[in-house]
Structure 1
Amino acid sequence: MAWFKREKKGIITSTEDKKEAPDGLWNKCPNCKKPLHYAEQVENKYVCHYCGYHLRIGSKEYFSILFDDNTFTELNANLKSGDPLDFEDTKKYTERLEESYAKTGLNDALRSAYGKLNGHDIVIACMDFSFIGGSMGSVVGEKIARAIDYSIKNKVPFLLISKSGGARMMEAAFSLMQMAKTSAKLALLSKAKIPYISLLTDPTTGGVTASYAMLGDINISEPGALIGFAGPRVIKETIKKDLPKGFQTAEFVQEHGFLDFIVDRREMKNKLFTFLKLMDN
């Protein structure tokens, strides 16, 4: 039909010839809703250049931002969760794990690696929210423990990037024990006088907030990150009062003394290097 055709030279003449943009090339800022090109996101450290909103990213992106030339050696990469409780709700835990392996290409909700940050040796452990909500299971706790052991053995500073919904319910007490396990390991790190920096990102909640995320020699966060233990709705229903404006944002948490610094991701690498030099001295 003629009115669906375009005859002008250089313009697609039929909707059948139209080419779609490749998946992942563009997305929308969750805050200001403006379109973001992937190449611009990478260049701007995954921060919206319109409103400064910090997009949620995982270990792959954080490693590329922080490690010099994106060069690092991963630690304990092949650890995977078992199913000691034979847990089954709407589906078996083992099925949920298999789906997560296939969807994310990850073996669990945390990766750890060692390399250099502005020429300074460092071990970085980073959580991945895309793997079952970044939940803390036995593998997450074990990989943190082993990364701390590596830091102690080699006298290398330790950075842990938290992004989690809390404990992994499918592992019950096995998950909750990781709070004590990681806290004990961090006590050994402190005893060895090796710096530990905790970076809290959006969101950091539940048992992760109640353990290793808040135990840093320096606790820092990205702007606007959600940080808390229970969710705002649960707290409001419990205390039967309206919550303050900005409740559980990084800015609110810092104002009440639980954070030392809020650092823009685009400045993060240099700020971390400054902290490491100060703690070395």
Structure 2
Amino acid sequence: MKKVAYIFPGQGSQAVGMGREMYENYPEVKKLFDQADQALGYSLTSLMFEGPEEELTKTENAQPALLLNSVAIAHILKAEGANPVTTAGHSLGEYSSLVTAESIRPIEAVQLVHMRGKLMEEAFPTGKGAMAAVLGLAKEDIEAVLLQLDENEPVDLANINCPGQIVISGTAKGIENASEQLKDAGAKRVLPLNVSGPFHSRLMEPASGEFAVHLKNSTIIDAEIPVYANVTAQPVTESAEIEKMLIEQLYSPVRFQEILEEFVQMDLDAIVEVGHGKVLSGLVKKVNRRTKTFSVQDSETLNSFIQWYREDS
């Protein structure tokens, strides 16, 4: 049997219309979507299929929508006999990983990330926080610049995605100051991101305490396969460690490049992005261009992957 790892996208990959084709073709996907709508108390499904985009983009909606879409596709892959040996997700995508590893039940995960999104939105005043992508500058050089900034306008590393692509997060004024200094330090570009808050920075710590209560009231069990945690870039399976990682993840950097480097060393046959978009597949290629990747997001791409997966197996 082929050895594959699944990776799951995070916030920013959402788009109106995602999941509709799978919903219409697979009764079990429709059932999962309907259960999610009932659990949330509003029609996330219609928001995913019809928009409006500005509503879907809100953190409290985008997070459960992306998770639901990814988990539904992973469910069909499992029904087709495809199973990963390990898994990871980018920020929010870590929850899709945990559902796939059978550590969290799907609908409970949908409710959790809906609450996570609300708490992240509320943790810092709207418009006062910001994030930006720094292109073409090494992590150490970025850290050196951030250390020189005004402590009253903090900025932290948020996403370490791949060589030459790192996201910073902090106050709007801090990001503005950092952007100028990073360009002076040699960054090719510093691009503001369309986000509603300073995610994965110390400014998210207020959200972590309340979210910890929701996690305590959830059922999290040991994972069936290793899930690589964003916080440590190391595999976790024990429920207590998983819970700890999910709390710390809110205010810690996403170490996705390191996770992908670990995967590349595993002698995998392929790394499979499960869910909407191809952002993570692109990151894999930046880490190691020879790694075989798949992006599974609809019936066509799912069938293409399954056909390959079953060859010579």
Q: TM-score, normalised by structure 1?
A: 0.33
Give the number of the structure whose alpha-carbon radius of gyration is greater: 1
Whose helix proportion is higher, 1 or 2?
2
Higher relative contact order (CA 8 A, sep 6+): 2
Q: TM-score, normalised by structure 2?
A: 0.30
